[in-house]
Amino acid sequence: MATNTEPVTQRHRVRKVTRVIRDVDAWSVFKVAVVFHAALYIVVLITGFLLWNVGSATGTIDNVEQFLASFGWDSFTFQGAALFRAMAFFGLFGIALGAGIWVLAAVVFNLITELVGGVRVTVLEEEVVARTVEPDHTQR
């Protein structure tokens, strides 16, 4: 029983291909936009909470309140819980508004590509081609 002991190497073949993007699915854009803006919403809420705690612990918020009191706003105070609730409430509107803007942009893109025929994109496609290497019998 003979075994093939010839080494196999992989070589990448690359070819340049032009593609045309004519349509972007609005439903897919909506799903991606909602997930993106929801993640951004969570990051902003956590960051705001952490910054508020750091500012409160270091006395920065009290200093800002005293600075504003020097301009005649004696009764001005920051209310952390109310600010956080407002930020959380308006952040939900931000998710809906951001997703709506993305979907509107996708629809406008689709309308424009109907007029002009699409957007041409050049990409490189890689193909992995396995080839056997013949042993060099000339060197002895």
- DSSP secondary structure, 30-77, as one string: HHHHHHHHHHHHHHHHHHHHHHHHHHHHHTHHHHHHHHHHTTT-TT--
Whether residue 21 is contained in a domain is answered as yes
Residue 3 has a pLDDT of 56
What average pLDDT does this structure show over 61-80? 85
- Residue 69, Cβ neighbours under 10 Å: how many? 13
Whether residue 12 is contained in a domain is answered as yes
Residue 15 has a pLDDT of 87
pLDDT-based confidence at 96, cuts 50/70/90? very high
Whether residue 18 is contained in a domain is answered as yes
Whether residue 3 is contained in a domain is answered as no
Q: Are the CB atoms for 119 and 113 separated by under 8 Å?
A: yes
Whether residue 73 is contained in a domain is answered as yes
What average pLDDT does this structure show over 92-107? 97
Name the residue range of residue 44's domain: 8-132
Residue linked to tokens 């902003």: 44
Whether residue 55 is contained in a domain is answered as yes
The pair of three-digit structure tokens given for residue 51, joined into one six-digit string: 């910054």
- Residue 61, Cβ neighbours under 10 Å: how many? 16
Total number of domains in the chain: 1
Whether residue 138 is contained in a domain is answered as no
User: pTM here?
Assistant: 0.70
Whether residue 72 is contained in a domain is answered as yes
Which is nearest to 51 in space by CA: 66, 36, 61? 61
Q: What is the pLDDT of residues 7-61, one digit of tens each?
A: 656 667 888 999 999 999 999 999 999 999 999 999 999 999 999 999 999 999 8
> Percentage of residues in the chain with pLDDT exceeding 90?
56
